[in-house]
Structure 1
Amino acid sequence: MPDNDFPCADEAIVLQSWGKNAKAWTRAVRTNAIESRRLVTNQAILDAVVARQPRTVLDIGCGEGWLVRALAARGIRATGIDAVPALIDQAREAGGEFQVASYEDIIASRLELKADTLVCNFALLGEESVAPLLRSLPALLEENGRLIVQTVHPLMACGERAYADGWRLESWAGFGDAFPSPAPWYFRTLSSWIALFVSAGWQLCQVQEPLHPSTGKPASVIFTAQKA
């Protein structure tokens, strides 16, 4: 099945896949096996957050928790949440403040947390779930706070496929047999991302495009937004 034609109507498949891949993902992150993260995107999101001089950070979709620990090492109180229990287990084993919570928990106002900076680092992977999540996030944000989102750069992630919104399938090519489950994710064009923020009630303050040091091409895009 072509990667750009993956019919992921049930977004639960995304979570199921990440549950199966939790240990492999943790190993890949902690051994710096992913070049773009090692050379560009990890430092890029860390710099973007630290530049805000936050007191408190909520990492939404924290995965195995590296960003929470990196911020804590800089004296910033950070908490991570993720809907995948297996990833939260990995995060807690390495230390830090973590809890299992889904986008549905946030949308339904079941999460009793607030922070002056919210972060979604490569965590907005769905289609229909993302807009209601973005509309709900201001309830977690303290006054004059910011939302920082890093995601794949649409220009580079598009590859040879049509530049159009749609489901893609991460096959983990190049990672050997470590990842047992292909992972679906929803591709958005740059204009779709901007429209999504605006329609959800956010005002974009800054758009950054961190560049890969070898290719000179954007490795990701980082959006910083405030409540409109």
Structure 2
Amino acid sequence: MKLNAEDLAKITSLTLANYEESAESFEAGTRDHDVSQNIAALLRHIQGEPPYDILDLGCGPGRDLKTFAALGHRPVGLDGTPRFVEMARKASGCEVWHQDFLHLALPASRFDGIFANAVLFHVPGQELPRVLRALQTALRPGGVLFSSNPRGGNQEGWNRGRYGAYHDLDRWTALMTDAGFEHLEHYFRPDGLPQEQQPWLASVWRRIG
């Protein structure tokens, strides 16, 4: 079923409202999550000498912005939740843009890398090609995008007040390839568990052209 403009606006507003209402508890619950494996996966594929210009897409309260900055890079955050934008600016001291994923206004060829950790699954499937092309354009030629999403059987819908789309590896590969990316690597998380106990699909992609 195709979603119309009203449907998309509702998905965005309700999902962001859910995050807004739970901003403090979300920050406390994710503060100590170890995503060093994901950060390393992005950084090792970026070409050229650091420091790198990195977009932390869906940066939330700013945990990973602080990490990128501490590593000497030049991160910029982006989030659609007003409270997260405020928290991320305060926590990291970094520039943080207030944009939602369906209304991105990104400068062309601005970033060496994009870190999309647990965020792109909130984009309805029909809108993903457009959003991924916007991200591809925001990367410099040869730039790298990291994504981590909860995997599934290519279904989408509401889950505890937030909208999500849950792709398998084949579908995600097709979406990324069509948007102008080449596959570099993928793995499942959490690390060290049997695959049936690894609900997250992490993947790394390079902009073609």
- Report the equivalent of 1:118: 114
Given the alignment, which residue of 193, 202, 208 partners 2:181?
202
Deviation string 1:74-126 (CA, Å, 9 cap, x unpaired) is 111111111111111111121231121222442xxx33371111111101112
- Report the equivalent of 1:51: 44
Deviation string 1:177-201 (CA, Å, 9 cap, x unpaired) is xxxxx32322222222112112222
Letter paired with 1:75: G
Question: How much has 1:143 moved relative to structure 2?
Answer: 2.2
Inter-CA distance 219–186: structure 2 relative to 1 (3 Å threshold):
closer
Aligned residue pairs, count: 191
Q: Which runs of no fewer than 5 residues in structure 2 stay unpaired?
A: 1-6
Letter paired with 1:185: G
Letter paired with 2:85: I
The normalised TM-score by structure 2 is: 0.80
Letter paired with 1:111: L
3-state SS of paired residue (2:97): strand
* Farther-moved stretch of structure 1 (60-69 vs 110-119): 110-119
The reply on whether 1:92 has 2:89 as its aligned counterpart is yes
3-state SS of paired residue (1:185): strand
Letter paired with 2:114: L
Q: Which runs of no fewer than 5 residues in structure 1 stay unpaired?
A: 1-7, 172-181
C-alpha distance in 2, partners of 1:219/1:47?
20
C-alpha distance in 1, partners of 2:25/2:164?
18
In the alignment, is the contact (CA less than 8 A) between 2:154 and 2:171 conserved in 1? no
Question: How much has 1:149 moved relative to structure 2?
Answer: 0.8
Structure ranking higher on relative contact order (CA contacts 8 Å, 6+ apart): 1
- Report the equivalent of 1:222: 202
The normalised TM-score by structure 1 is: 0.74
In the alignment, is the contact (CA less than 8 A) between 1:135 and 1:201 conserved in 2? yes
